[in-house]
Amino acid sequence: MADSTDETFMRRAIALAQEGLRAPGGSPIGCVIVLDGKIIGEGHNETEGQHDPTAHGEVVAMRRAGTAISNWELRGATLYSTLQPCGMCTMASIWAKIGRIVYGAGRDDVHEMYFEDRHFDTDDFIRDAYRKDLSIEGGLMAKECAELYFKPGQALTFEEQANL
């Protein structure tokens, strides 16, 4: 269950997302990774600026967390993301041995351009994972998080639709 500590870290993720919105080549998906009550990695989406399709906020934060603790295994860590992680970031979280994923806006709260599959819910990756020490919770501060994103059904240009 989410608590006030979770809200504190989600607020930080939202602040990072807002930074991403302002940063040249950034976009508003913020992520914080916490281990033993401390932030060990954080970031926002940098795909445009880094010319790197894998530089999603979660991956950026995972790389920094791994560097911070000199370990690619982030076992016991909690990952906070302002948006439900995409397939790539969900799988990376599984491989990183993250213990808990908490996200804000879910796929039904935002435009479909943030996801790669028409129907598949990335929560299902977690439910089907071999790992039993991994949980996922969505909807924390969902309204505040959803305000960062294009709305469901919003008319977007081809360039704005990252998944096309």
Task: List active site positions.
Answer: 58
Between 5 and 53, name the residue whose CB sits nearer to Zn ion: 53
User: Which of the stretches 5-13, 76-84, 87-95, 128-136 binds Zn ion when contact is defined by CB under 5 A?
Assistant: 87-95
Given 44, 56, 107, 111, the residue binding Zn ion (CB under 5 A): 56
Given 77, 89, 140, 146, the residue binding Zn ion (CB under 5 A): 89
45 contact partners, CB below 8 Å, separation of at least 6: 20, 26, 27, 28, 29, 55, 56, 57, 60
User: Which of the stretches 6-14, 82-90, 93-101, 149-157 binds Zn ion when contact is defined by CB under 5 A?
Assistant: 82-90
Provide the minimum distance between the beta carbon of 99 and Zn ion in the complex, in angstroms, as a whole number. Answer: 19
Neighbours of 48 (CB within 10 A): 14
Between 92 and 141, name the residue whose CB sits nearer to Zn ion: 92
Provide the minimum distance between the beta carbon of 89 and Zn ion in the complex, in angstroms, as a whole number. Answer: 3
User: Which of the stretches 49-57, 95-103, 106-114, 150-158 binds Zn ion when contact is defined by CB under 5 A?
Assistant: 49-57
Length, in residues, of the chain: 164
Q: Does 86 bind Zn ion (CB under 5 A)?
A: yes
Task: Find where tokens 């080549």 sit.
Answer: 25
40 contact partners, CB below 8 Å, separation of at least 6: 33, 34, 64, 65, 68, 69, 74, 77
In the complex, which residues of this chain contact Zn ion (CB under 5 A)?
A: 56, 86, 88-89
